[in-house]
């Protein structure tokens, strides 16, 4: 029975890693579609989102099956519960990449971004993809020290997000309200993507050590977004 449990947990871990990889790939493509006003690439992100949704459902079913049939306790219970929470975070990462692609599609054939903010979003996209890869890495290695470093990687995203607002609030902004709304929403999507990747790291730390990092324990960091 223990062998079966371990096999099921390994399957769940593999699926979570695959989900994280898909979410990172989706954000990479979504960013390229945004910067290039590439409708084909945006449509690809939108059509491929079903893969993440399907994996999310499979992961949840596996986790709840473990709870119902294996009755895990102590460390095993912590692993299953953390798995359920991680599913939700990665699912949101995929949904945020989807939102980026949908804005590209809505504004096509025009560019959703004014040229002066392209550099911000190119870098935010790079950091988001890096965080997606890091999330997959910590899911595979379960290395709490590596997981803690996701918070440091997220700081660069937070800095860019703050600087973006200085551009929007500048009196020289000449691109109108619609563009300002798009830039605000898009900046938020990237910032939230990074936050959910950090949250995956936090869950892994809890899974391995049984303790939540104090600096990341506030629920105010991750609302339902």
pLDDT tens digits along 66-121: 888 777 777 788 888 899 999 999 999 999 999 999 999 999 999 999 999 999 99
Are 203 and 129 in contact by the 8 Å Cβ rule? The answer is no
Q: Which of 3-7, 154-158, 207-211 has the lowest mean pLDDT?
A: 3-7
Q: What is the tens place of the pLDDT at every residue in 135-162?
A: 999 999 999 999 999 999 999 999 999 9
- CATH T-level assignment (fold) for domain 2-215: Methane Monooxygenase Hydroxylase; Chain G, domain 1 (1.20.58)
Which pLDDT band, with edges at 50, 70 and 90, does 172 fall under? confident
Residue ranges per structural domain of the chain: 2-215
Share of the chain above pLDDT 70, in %: 93
Distance CA 18, CA 65 (A): 20
pTM summary value: 0.90
């Amino acid at each position: 029975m223990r062998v079966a449990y371990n096999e099921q947990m390994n399957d769940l871990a593999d699926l979570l890693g695959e989900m994280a990889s898909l979410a990172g790939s989706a954000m990479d493509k979504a960013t390229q579609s945004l910067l290039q006003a590439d409708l084909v690439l945006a449509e690809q992100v939108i059509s491929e989102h079903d893969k993440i949704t399907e994996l999310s459902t499979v992961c949840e079913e596996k986790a709840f099956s473990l709870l119902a049939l294996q009755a895990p306790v102590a460390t095993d219970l912590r692993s299953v519960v953390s798995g359920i929470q991680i599913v939700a975070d990665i699912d949101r990462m995929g949904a945020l990449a989807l939102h980026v692609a949908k804005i590209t599609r809505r504004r096509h054939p025009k560019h959703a971004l004014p040229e002066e903010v392209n550099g911000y979003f190119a870098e935010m996209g790079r950091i988001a993809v890096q965080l997606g890869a890091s999330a997959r890495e910590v899911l595979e290695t379960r290395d709490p020290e590596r997981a803690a470093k996701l918070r440091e990687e997220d700081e660069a995203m937070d800095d860019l997000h703050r600087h973006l607002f200085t551009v929007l609030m500048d009196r020289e902004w000449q691109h109108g309200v619609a563009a300002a709304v798009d830039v605000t929403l898009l900046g938020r999507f990237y910032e939230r993507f990074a936050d959910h990747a950090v949250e995956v790291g936090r869950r892994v730390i809890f899974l391995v050590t049984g303790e939540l990092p104090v600096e990341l324990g506030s629920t105010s960091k991750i609302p339902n977004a």
